[in-house]
């Protein structure tokens, strides 16, 4: 049986226990990624209705997380390095997603980002009009959360669930 814990509840428990910041970050991350039942047949959500991965005990990843892996490979890897690990040019997104709010993550991808006054001139491009990214942004988020929380190892996930008809429908509408 799965236990559903809200992030707030985890944070409160951590505060009461007085554990180290690292341990509390880990506990909070786990709370955020607890999948409640997928209600729309498309993907799983946590208690805050933020998309999350769903990895079975035998390692089978849900379709959206697998899709996120593929989209990351084709759209983000070139700058952010293999498996969300970062490069000399751009930060490790597997760590960024453990720190960034889901909505800030979406906004950064849609609008881009440029560190003003930084020693290096680093530019995160805006993808807001690119359907190959924006239609899959939730998938990329869940893939990176799976990586950052340690639920998913490096490389191509060996086993994946099939794409659901509901997912295919939403994808078709988005890409039109």
Q: How many residues does the chain have?
A: 176
Q: How many residues bind ligand HEC (CB under 6 A)?
A: 24
Q: Is 89 in the site for ligand HEC (CB under 6 A)?
A: yes
Q: Of 100-129, which residues contact ligand HEC (CB under 6 A)? A: 100, 105, 108-109, 113-115, 122-125, 127
Stretch that binds ligand HEC, among 38-46, 48-56, 73-81, 152-160 (CB under 6 A): 73-81
Q: Is the Cβ of residue 22 or residue 119 nearer to ligand HEC in the bound state?
A: 119
Q: Of 38-57, which residues contact ligand HEC (CB under 6 A)? A: none
Q: Is the Cβ of residue 63 or residue 105 nearer to ligand HEC in the bound state?
A: 105
Q: Is 90 in the site for ligand HEC (CB under 6 A)?
A: yes
Site string for ligand HEC, 3-22 (x = CB under 6 A): --------------------
What is the rounded end-to-end Cα distance, in angstroms, of the chain?
40
Quick one: which of 29, 61, 133, 151 contacts ligand HEC (CB under 6 A)? 133
Q: Is 135 in the site for ligand HEC (CB under 6 A)?
A: no
Give the whole-angstrom CA distance, residue 91 versus residue 80.
6
Question: What is the closest distance, in whole angstroms, from the C-beta atom of residue 57 to ligand HEC in the complex?
Answer: 28
The three state secondary structure string of the chain is CCCCCCHHHHHHHHHHHCCCHHHHHHHHHHHHHCCECCCCCCCEECCCCCEECCECCCCCECHHHHHHHHHHHHHCHHHHCHHHCCCCCCCCHHHHHHHCCHHHHHHHHHHCEECCCCCCCCEECCCCCCHHHHCCHHHHHHHHHHHHCCCCCCCCCCCECCCCHHHHHHHHHHHC
Task: Report how far Cα 63 is from the mean position of its chain's Cα atoms.
Answer: 13
Q: Is 79 in the site for ligand HEC (CB under 6 A)?
A: yes
Per CB under 6 A, residues contacting ligand HEC are: 75-76, 78-80, 89-91, 93, 96, 100, 105, 108-109, 113-115, 122-125, 127, 133, 140
């Amino acid at each position: 049986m799965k236990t559903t814990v809200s992030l707030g509840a985890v944070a409160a428990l951590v505060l009461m226990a007085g554990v180290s910041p690292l341990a509390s970050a880990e506990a909070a991350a786990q709370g955020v990624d607890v999948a409640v039942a997928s209600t729309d047949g498309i993907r799983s959500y946590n208690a805050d209705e933020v998309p999350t991965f769903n990895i079975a005990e035998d390692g089978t990843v849900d379709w959206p997380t697998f899709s996120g892996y593929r989209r990351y490979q084709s759209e983000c890897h070139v700058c952010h390095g293999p498996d969300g690990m970062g490069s000399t040019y751009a930060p490790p997104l597997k760590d960024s997603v453990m720190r960034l709010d889901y909505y800030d993550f979406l906004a950064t991808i849609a609008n881009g980002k440029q560190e003003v006054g930084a020693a290096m001139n680093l530019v995160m491009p805006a993808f807001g009009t690119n359907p190959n990214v924006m239609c899959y942004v939730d998938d990329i988020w869940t893939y990176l959360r799976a990586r950052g929380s340690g639920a998913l190892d490096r490389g191509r996930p060996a086993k994946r669930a099939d794409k659901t008809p509901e997912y295919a429908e939403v994808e078709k509408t988005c890409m039109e």
